[in-house]
Amino acid sequence: MHGYIKRLFEPELKAALARAPAVAILGPRQCGKSTLARTFLQRQHISHVFLDLQNREDRRKLAEPELFLQAHRNQLVCLDEMQAVPDFFPFLRVEIDRDRRPGRFLILGSASRDLLRQSTETLAGRIAFLDLTPFLLREVSPRIAWDKLWLRGGFPDSLLAVSDADSIAWRADFIRTFLERDIPQLGFTIPVPLMERLWVLLAHYHGQTLNFSKAASAVDISVPTFKKYLAILEQTYMVRLLSPSESNLKKRIVQAPKIYLRDSGILHNLLDIETYDALLAHPVNGASWEGFAIENLIVANPKWRPSFVRTGNDAEVDLVLERGRRRVLIECKLSKAASPTRGFHQLIADLRPEQAWLVAPVDEPYEVQSGIKVAGICDVTLPD
């Protein structure tokens, strides 16, 4: 099932390998990078060698990197968990400069390009980056219902678990492994209990504007330390900071970013939400739906710049997507009978968007008022 779903990503990967000597697929651990790479290479009948660099035996094969690369010069070399051996990037540069054929290296990593900065500097002009996320609704619908994806999140082993209990257990193991192994492997020395408290705190802030001083005080650390730890969670794809819009409104607008946990299943585990009924009864349900919808829409529309707007009198738009001078406004509503607020109307008048949407769990899209459509996540279609 993984291969069937992730085929939606294959055209982007194929195009990147056709134009760049090296392609890096970046995304959170366990989101399906290795499965995608193996399936794609086999389906395309590409001669390749695959190394898992968290495996000691595979790392030993790079003990003499020049000899290894020479031996496999006529094959695509796939290096999984590349952040485990950052010292290898200079050898890649030398090898690519000897032969700049496209599609020579496929690099998989569980950290953002900022954390893999050595690759972006060493391989500048030689590498293309692709971001892979856990499953989006458009990838699994209609085979998997939206409410199941919302509750369990998009990590394959969580979403496809036999039962909710197995899904919860997998997410608990993921959180523990991330804190105890993944962060230290990236070179950060942070006490596990402190990072866990911070992560839980951010779960409670989910969907809210972030007061850095207040949040840092809550976990008893300085603001600079808080921002450093937050950046680690952001650069490992665990949280998203949504910036306020830079639109030139003649009103006072909130300047603080909003914080979201990128995977709804991880959010629910950190808040001890185990069932769909418990989610609907929990005070976070609206913010959780908002984050779930926003993450799907941002990832599905990478050419559009995301932000939000909140004015001093609490008029708000959850998501503003901008592309050049074009603008789309989106409000998220956990309701089968969604209706726009007065503040939404005010901001439509001020910002004059090309489209305005209310994203809600409805079966069919419809126009609720002139120029405002209600639609499910997969039915939101942005202009070309």
Would the pLDDT of 362 be above 70?
Answer: yes
Residues of the chain with CATH 3.40.50.300: 2-131
- The rounded distance, in Å, linking the Cα atoms of 353 and 196 is 40
Q: Which of 3-7, 66-70, 352-356 has the least mean pLDDT?
A: 3-7
Helices (H), 178-263: 183-185, 192-205, 212-218, 223-235
Torsion of CA 55, 57, 63, 66, to 10 degrees: -90
- The rounded distance, in Å, linking the Cα atoms of 266 and 276 is 14
- Residue 263 burial class via C-beta count within 10 angstroms: exposed 0-12, middle 13-18, buried 19 and up: buried
> Could you tell me the pLDDT band of residue 227, with boundaries at 50, 70 and 90?
very high
305 forms beta bridges with 322
Check residues 315 and 164 and name the one with the higher pLDDT. 164
Q: Output the pLDDT for position 88.
A: 84
307 forms beta bridges with 320
Q: Which of 114-118, 196-200, 238-242 has the least mean pLDDT?
A: 114-118
Structurally, at CATH architecture level, domain 137-379 sits in Orthogonal Bundle (1.10)
How far is the CA of 201 from the CAs of 147, 195, 204, 230, in angstroms?
25, 10, 5, 11
Closest CA to 260 of 209, 301, 304: 209
Please give the backbone phi and psi of residue 194, each rounded to the nearest 5 degrees, phi first.
-65, -45
One-letter amino acid at 368 equals: V
Q: Output the pLDDT for position 10.
A: 85
- Residue 82 burial class via C-beta count within 10 angstroms: exposed 0-12, middle 13-18, buried 19 and up: buried
Q: Output the pLDDT for position 119.
A: 67
Q: Output the pLDDT for position 7.
A: 62
- For residues 269-308, one letter each, b for 16 or more C-beta atoms within 10 angstroms of the residue's C-beta and e for the rest, the string is bbbebeeeeebeeeebeebbbbbbbbbbbbbbbeebbbbb
> Could you tell me the pLDDT band of residue 294, with boundaries at 50, 70 and 90?
very high
Q: Output the pLDDT for position 3.
A: 44
- The rounded distance, in Å, linking the Cα atoms of 274 and 165 is 8
Would the pLDDT of 239 be above 60?
Answer: yes
Q: Which of 116-125, 290-299, 337-346, 354-363 has the least mean pLDDT?
A: 116-125
Contact yes or no for 368/358 (Cβ under 8 A)? yes
- The rounded distance, in Å, linking the Cα atoms of 135 and 292 is 11
Which one of 131-135, 263-267, 310-314 scores highest in mean pLDDT? 263-267
- Residue 243 burial class via C-beta count within 10 angstroms: exposed 0-12, middle 13-18, buried 19 and up: middle
Closest CA to 106 of 183, 182, 61, 39: 39
pTM (predicted TM-score): 0.93
Per CATH, domain 2-131 is 1.10.40.30 = no
> Could you tell me the pLDDT band of residue 2, with boundaries at 50, 70 and 90?
very low
Closest CA to 318 of 356, 278, 285, 354: 356
Q: Output the pLDDT for position 366.
A: 95
162 forms beta bridges with none
Would the pLDDT of 125 be above 60?
Answer: yes
Across 188-212, average pLDDT: 95
Tokens 């039962």 belong to which residue? Answer: 163
pLDDT tens digits for 300-330? 999 999 999 998 777 899 999 999 989 999 9
Across 44-69, average pLDDT: 91
Residues of the chain with CATH 1.10.10.10: 137-379
DSSP-derived letter for residue 84 is G
Q: Output the pLDDT for position 250.
A: 64
309 forms beta bridges with 317
Q: Average per-residue pLDDT in the chain?
A: 91
Say if strands 326-332 and 355-359 run parallel, antiparallel, or are unpaired: parallel
- Residue 26 burial class via C-beta count within 10 angstroms: exposed 0-12, middle 13-18, buried 19 and up: buried
Across 168-196, average pLDDT: 93
Q: Output the pLDDT for position 309.
A: 93
Would the pLDDT of 249 be above 80?
Answer: no
Q: Output the pLDDT for position 14.
A: 93
> Could you tell me the pLDDT band of residue 178, with boundaries at 50, 70 and 90?
very high
- The rounded distance, in Å, linking the Cα atoms of 121 and 218 is 37
Tokens 């970046």 belong to which residue? Answer: 26
pLDDT tens digits for 349-359? 999 999 999 99
Tokens of 78: 């796939």
